[in-house]
Amino acid sequence: MIQELKNNYGHLFEDALLNEINQVGTFKEVSEGFKLMEIGNYVKAMPLLISGAIKILREDNNGDELLLYFLEKGDTCAMTLTCCVAQKKSNIRAIAETDSKLIMIPIKKMEEWSEKYKSWRHFVFESYHNRLNEMLETIDSIAFLKMDERLLKYLVKKVTISKNKTIHITHQDIAYELHTSRVVISRLLKKLETLGKIELNRNYILMKDI
Amino acid sequence: MIQELKNNYGHLFEDALLNEINQVGTFKEVSEGFKLMEIGNYVKAMPLLISGAIKILREDNNGDELLLYFLEKGDTCAMTLTCCVAQKKSNIRAIAETDSKLIMIPIKKMEEWSEKYKSWRHFVFESYHNRLNEMLETIDSIAFLKMDERLLKYLVKKVTISKNKTIHITHQDIAYELHTSRVVISRLLKKLETLGKIELNRNYILMKDI
DNA sequence: ATACCTATGTAACTTATGTTACTGTGTAGT
DNA sequence: ACTACACAGTAACATAAGTTACATAGGTAT
């Protein structure tokens, strides 16, 4: 039994289930930037996050991309399979936002455990709920906020996730995740700096008094 | 046993489950424009759609709104509860797009049946999947398409749902659902008419050669 | 130091979208 | 017919965002 599994999921799952997870799950440690799956890889598994954070991006076939949400400790993402199975014009990418530890569960276990363990059923439903809410939050941002507000929200989220006021990222990478252009991001960041909300540096941004 | 229930869900659910649904569910007939729920009403129930179509809208507290997706025959929407429970800045509205028949299921049955019936479990998971995919589709539209493309997609969707090339709607109402202004919609519609894709009339639009 | 690459700053311009304001027209009610 | 109102057409303008182009600064390899 991996102790970390018990620490993270012990309050949710009974021992029998924890043991099953331990037996059939594949433990993985990935470092920042690692691509967890892309266009159909890893489709047959569902990740349980032990520590770290995973960012989930939408990507259409023009190469345009957009940040959907982050998975954090204790999260899972049943959607990973959904989307890759549906396979339409667009795809989902999952990239480690920070160094992360996770357990990959074969999806065939999903149904089996749903029948056997009430706690697992709850967990999966709960996960869907969370994902749906994150998606709604994303839709709200894109539909109702202007780019400067989205940018600020994005930066605050980054700080929250990494628990670090220093964000190591380039303007270009922010532009990709918010699906806009580098020039626009540079412009708006400069405005935020003028307002005293951030401090700009090469390759990193320092968040102030949020 | 309501025959329509059996017709629509007989291939999915075993008789025992159909009977339970028939016993605890509330059969409802609503006509176009009926508001199925708003800000916390109907939270304790989950709709099973028998016929017709329901549109699901997101609404923030400035009164801004946005069409999320449609529910059609055979669909359900476990999300309805999710969002209303979460209760953040925004809310979800559900409005009958056409005359519809549906059965409202008390949500306490959801867990009970999930334990008892594999078919129900599948149905609920499937429903979540579908909802997530619809949401992704919506995100794609808002994030990657320009307003004229979104408008055309919207009109085509309307035609598909109602199986009718005549769309009875005002420019203002389209503007609400796509979260833009009436003038913008009028402008773009006129452009589509010039291109020969539609024909504009007072209170309705005729779709041509799609 | 030199060359080279990446990241950033910024101006100047284009385009899409949002806003305001006014017009005309069909429809319903009196 | 007259009035009132909802709906649609359109011009003129404002703003947000996207684009192109170029300058400069920091870092790295040689």
- Spell out the per-residue pLDDT of chain A, length 210, in tens: 678 899 999 999 999 999 999 999 999 899 999 988 644 454 567 889 999 999 999 988 788 999 999 999 888 776 665 554 445 556 888 899 999 999 988 888 988 999 999 999 989 888 888 888 899 999 999 999 999 999 999 999 999 999 999 999 999 999 999 999 999 999 999 999 999 999 999 999 999 975
pLDDT digits (tens, 9 = 90+) for B100-112: 999 988 888 988 9
Q: What is the 3-state secondary structure (H, E, C) of chain A?
A: CCHHHHHHHCCCCCHHHHHHHHHHCEEEEECCCCEEEECCCCCCEEEEEEECEEEEEEECCCCCEEEEEEEECCCECCHHHHHHHHCCCCEEEEEECCCEEEEEEECHHHHHHHHHCHHHHHHHHHHHHHHHHHHHHHHHHHHHCCHHHHHHHHHHHHHHHHCCCEEECCHHHHHHHHCCCHHHHHHHHHHHHHCCCEEEECCEEEECCC
A40 lies in the same domain as A100: yes
Residues with CB under 7 A from strand D: A 146-148, 179-181, 183-184, 202; B 170-172, 182-183, 186-187, 189-190, 200, 202-203
Whether residue A135 and residue B133 make contact (CB cut-off 8 A), yes or no, is: no
Q: Which residue of B68, B122, B132 to mutate against A (max A Cβ within 10 Å)?
A: B132
Contacts of B60 in chain A (CB under 8 A): 140, 144
A27 lies in the same domain as A114: yes
A43 lies in the same domain as A134: yes
A127 lies in the same domain as A154: no
Domain end: A100, A127, A143, which one?
A143
A154 lies in the same domain as A119: no
Closest chain A residue to the Cα of B92, Cα to Cα = A136
Query: Which of A197-206, B72-81, B121-130, B163-172 has the weakest average pLDDT?
Result: B72-81
Contacts of B137 in chain A (CB under 8 A): 88
CATH of the domain at A161: 1.10.10.10
Q: Does A135 touch chain B (CB under 8 A)?
A: yes
A51 lies in the same domain as A127: yes
- Nearest residue: Cα versus C1' of C20: B183
A132 lies in the same domain as A157: no
Q: In the Cβ-directed half-sphere of B16, how many Cα atoms lie within 13 Å?
A: 6
A159 lies in the same domain as A66: no
**What DSSP character marks residue B24?**
H
A22 lies in the same domain as A82: yes
When divided into structural domains, chain B yields a total of 2
- Using CB atoms, pick whichever of B64, B82, B121 lies closest to residue A132: B82
CB burial readout A25-35, b (16+ within 10 A) else e: beebebeeeee
Q: How many CB pairs under 8 A join A and B?
A: 94
Domain end: A127, A143, A159, which one?
A143
Closest chain A residue to the Cα of B61, Cα to Cα = A144
Closest chain B residue to the Cα of A122, Cα to Cα = B111
Q: Does the CB of B181 fall within 7 Å of any strand C atom?
A: yes
| Distance of A149 CA from D13 C1′ (whole Å) | 25
Query: Please, which pLDDT band fits residue B73 given cuts at 50, 70 and 90?
Result: confident
B151 lies in the same domain as B133: no
A35 lies in the same domain as A132: yes
Q: What is the CA radius of gyration of chain A?
A: 18
Whether residue B132 and residue A133 make contact (CB cut-off 8 A), yes or no, is: no
Q: Report the sign of the C-alpha dihedral through residues B181, B184, B185, B186, in that order.
A: positive
Tell me the residue range of the domain where A171 lies.
146-207
| Distance of B89 CA from C4 C1′ (whole Å) | 50
Between CA A47 and CA A43 the distance in angstroms is 10
Cβ A55 vs Cβ A120: under 8 Å: no
Adjacent-strand bridge partners of A91: A59
CATH of the domain at B11: 2.60.120.10
Whether residue B83 and residue A58 make contact (CB cut-off 8 A), yes or no, is: no
Domain end: B143, B177, B197, which one?
B143
Query: Please, which pLDDT band fits residue B169 given cuts at 50, 70 and 90?
Result: very high
Between CA B114 and CA B19 the distance in angstroms is 15
pLDDT at A127: 87
A8 lies in the same domain as A42: yes
Q: Which residues contact B195 (CB under 8 A, 6 or more apart)?
A: none
pTM above 0.80, yes or no: yes
> What number is the ipTM of this complex?
0.91
Whether residue A136 and residue B58 make contact (CB cut-off 8 A), yes or no, is: yes
